[in-house]
Amino acid sequence: MMDHLQQLENLSVHILREAYANFKSLGMLWSIGKDSTVLLWLTRKAFFGHVPFPLIHIDTHYKIPEMIKYRDWLTKDWKLNMIYGVNEAAIAEKQTFPDGNVDRITCCRLLKTEALKSTIIGEGRRYRFNHKKGDYELDRNTEAFTGIIVGVRSDEEGSRSKERYFSPRDKENLWDVGDQPPEFWSQFKTDFKAGTHVRIHPLLDWTELNIWEYIERENIPTVSLYYNHGDGKRFRSLGCYPCTYPIDSESRNVGEIIIELKSGKLKNIAERSGRAQDKDDGGGLETLRRDGYM
């Protein structure tokens, strides 16, 4: 008899295979966090050790350095087809919150949402990892992605609970929350009119505890930032260093994080409480997500 984690794994693998079968140009966002890394692991399971589409990372130039180090280490170790996009104009013009020229929400919109949009449609510069050279180089392929797989969970944050497994966006990548196809009994709508961009969410049913239990069961490598290294702090959610803060925690490994979550110590603390832009968006991310935020 399957346990709950096995049931979750089976549904996610099914959605990944449905996406691969129905979208001509598919990519998967990898934020380097625990959720999208579990998604990457599930993809390798779904396709027998291979990831048959590019991984996409949006590099804001303000990610915590350990995240980028981990990204490039795993790219080499697992021989991933890795590309990243960046809003080079905003960086060059210093239109960022750390430079003091815009607020946090505008900074997120420029460095994440706009960078993601231009990366998806192929109009922004994309950089692809060259495994022979061991470095990134300008990607000459400018084909647009018609489907993007994303590792969001319904329980992580309010606006994400409104998503579907297959969520359409319009030509501008805008999300109409009130106009989404119903999904009953694992019957997914995967055919959309031309010009529609679709976000695919195989992890919607997973909880934060499920993610950590699966990481423990599968022994999935994760960023060291998630663990307390002696100062009584650890990151529960990862992002840009000017706007992301660690929580108080004594958890030094995956097992201790699971015990911490089961104890209820964090039950009244939002998972993204350390992400300052959420508070500036009125406590959620819906404003950013309607505009195309990941």
Using one digit for the tens of pLDDT, what is the confidence trace for 53-72?
A: 999 999 999 999 999 999 99
Whether pLDDT at 118 is above 80 = yes
Question: Residues near 245 by Cβ (< 8 Å), separated by ≥ 6?
Answer: 274, 276
State pLDDT tens for residues 95-117: 999 999 999 889 999 999 899 98
Nearest in space to 238 (alpha carbons), one of 45, 21, 66: 66
State the pLDDT confidence band at 184, using cuts at 50, 70 and 90.
confident
- Which of the residue ranges 15-29, 176-190, 267-281 would you say has the lowest mean pLDDT? 267-281
- Separation between Cα atoms, residue 219 and residue 80, nearest integer Å: 19
- Separation between Cα atoms, residue 19 and residue 42, nearest integer Å: 13
Instruction: Tell me which long-range contacts 116-119 makes (C-beta under 8 A, separation of at least 24).
Output: 116/29, 116/58, 116/85, 116/173, 116/292, 116/293, 116/294, 117/172, 117/173, 117/292, 118/85, 118/87, 119/56, 119/58, 119/83, 119/85
Residue 36: phi, psi to the nearest 5?
-70, -20
Q: Are 145 and 26 in contact, with CB atoms under 8 Å apart?
A: yes
pLDDT score recorded for residue 80:
96
- Separation between Cα atoms, residue 108 and residue 293, nearest integer Å: 8
Q: Quote the distance between the C-alpha of residue 65 and its chain's center.
A: 17
Mean pLDDT of 211-232: 97
State pLDDT tens for residues 1-17: 789 999 999 999 999 99
pLDDT score recorded for residue 102:
93
Enter the tokens of residue 126: 């994309």
Mean pLDDT of 133-154: 93
- pTM here is 0.88
Mean pLDDT of 145-163: 84
Residue written as tokens 């998630």?
A: 226
* Average pLDDT for the chain: 89
State the pLDDT confidence band at 290, using cuts at 50, 70 and 90.
low
State pLDDT tens for residues 242-260: 999 999 999 999 999 999 9
